[in-house]
Structures are given as structure tokens and as C-alpha cells.
Amino acid sequence: MHPARQKILEYLKRRGQATVDELANHLDMAAVSVRHHLDLLISDNLVEATRVRRQPGAGRPKRLYALTSHADALFPDQYQRLAHVSFDILKRTLSPQDFQRVIEALVEDILAHAPVDLEHLEPQERLQAAIQFLDSEGYMAFCECRDDGCILHTCHCPYKELATRHPEICQVDDLLIQRLTGMIPLRVSKIIHGEPRCTYRLLPMEEAPSPPPGPLSLPVES
């Protein structure tokens, strides 16, 4: 981004709002140049303008400029750090059983936003509804079905950075896909292992291999 526009954003972030004259004075820049940069920021939906009511004898009404909510993404945040620290604390302080309950609670929270009761759909309808829901959650999912079964792909990991450091979070996807599709997902590949997508072979519940003892994740295909 042009340095002048970056400075305008920073000034508006600190002050909340400002006129062209205030920005020109702060940046030591001609007002016409400030307006040019503001127009570009407005076209990018980063800044918005409102007209200030003219006071008696105060001359022409002036516009106040302020940041839009879209501009927040341009400033540093600590969401990832907070998520990493939170997972570190959970893993240190919870038993495996309690940690698994956290995973299950996360899945329940995601499923609360599902638009339909998938369990009452026919298998193919349920699979398509599951894919649509995964898409709405940012997974970019698609499925390939053949005579020997279905392969589910997710082309995007919505929390890749978190999962890279805490691979246990992949259990959320495993359980989520199981609950959505009514089938057991056997992982074939993982994005966090450098693959272009996460891939699962979907098995009917009755064909699922016996799980290992303990509250660990769903089985992974070798």
C-alpha cells in the first residue's frame, strides 16, 4: 500500500475521524493529494465519509472521514497467538478424556449452524448437504463417488496455522465429517503435511475398523 494511504489509515485509527484539512496538516501534504488518496481508500471500502452539518457562519460543510470495519484486517491482531496459548493450556491441564470433550463441544457448536437435520435425509442427499455445509464453513469441499465408495476432499483448512502446531485440532474435522455424513472418514492425506488437500475415504459405519482404546481421534488409513 502507498505510504501516504497507510499513514491516513493509521491516523484515522488513532483519532477515529478527521477532515481533509486535518489529514493534510498531519501528513504535510496538499489537500488535493489527500482527497486523491481518500478516494482510493473509499473505493477499496476501507474508509467512509460523512457530511458534517454546517454551523452558522462556518462556511461550507465539511466531510469527516473514518475507517470502515473492513480496515480492521489491515492492523495487527493476536487471534492466532491467543488460540495457540489456549490450546497449549488445554493440553497441559486437561485429561485426554476432558480434552476429547472439548473437541466434541467444538463440533456441536459448528453443527448448531447446520441448516437442516441431516440424519433424516437419504444418503446421497445427506452427502450433498454435508458438502454444502462444509463449503459454507470455508472448507471448499467436494466428493468423488465410484462403485467402490466415496472420497471426500477439503481443499482449504480454515485453521491451518493452528492445526500445524496442534494437529489434535484435526479431530474436529474427523468428527464433524462423521456427524455430517453419517459415515466414518479415513484420512488419506492432510494439508498440514504439505498435501494440496485433506482427503478422506468414507466408510459406512458398519465397515469401520475397530477403534483403538482411549478417547483418541478417528482412525487414519495407512
**Please, what are the domains in the chain?**
3-74 (1.10.10.10), 79-207 (3.30.1380)
Residue whose cell numbers read 473514518: 66
Q: What pLDDT does residue 218 have?
A: 42
Helix (H) or strand (E) holding 114: none
Cα–Cα distance for residue pair 94/102, rounded to 1 Å: 9
Q: What pLDDT does residue 182 have?
A: 92
Q: What pLDDT does residue 216 have?
A: 40
Residue 174's nearest CA partner among 161, 162, 190 is 190
Cα–Cα distance for residue pair 222/131, rounded to 1 Å: 25
Q: What pLDDT does residue 147 have?
A: 81
Q: What pLDDT does residue 142 have?
A: 94
Residues found in the chain: 222
Cα–Cα distance for residue pair 132/155, rounded to 1 Å: 13
Q: Phi-psi bin for 221: left (phi > 0), alpha (psi -120 to 50), beta?
A: beta
Residue type, 64: L
pTM of the model: 0.68
Which positions of the chain have pLDDT values less than 70? 53-60, 207-222
Q: Phi-psi bin for 149: left (phi > 0), alpha (psi -120 to 50), beta?
A: left
Q: What pLDDT does residue 88 have?
A: 92
Strand 47-51, strand 63-67: pairing: antiparallel
pLDDT single digits (tens) 5-42: 999 999 999 888 999 999 999 999 999 999 999 999 99
Please state the separation of Cα 1 from the chain's center in Å: 24
Cell of 159: 485453521
Q: What pLDDT does residue 52 have?
A: 73
Residue 61's nearest CA partner among 49, 74, 75, 48 is 49
Burial class (CB in 10 A: 0-12, 13-18, 19+), 48: middle
At 60 the three-state DSSP class reads coil
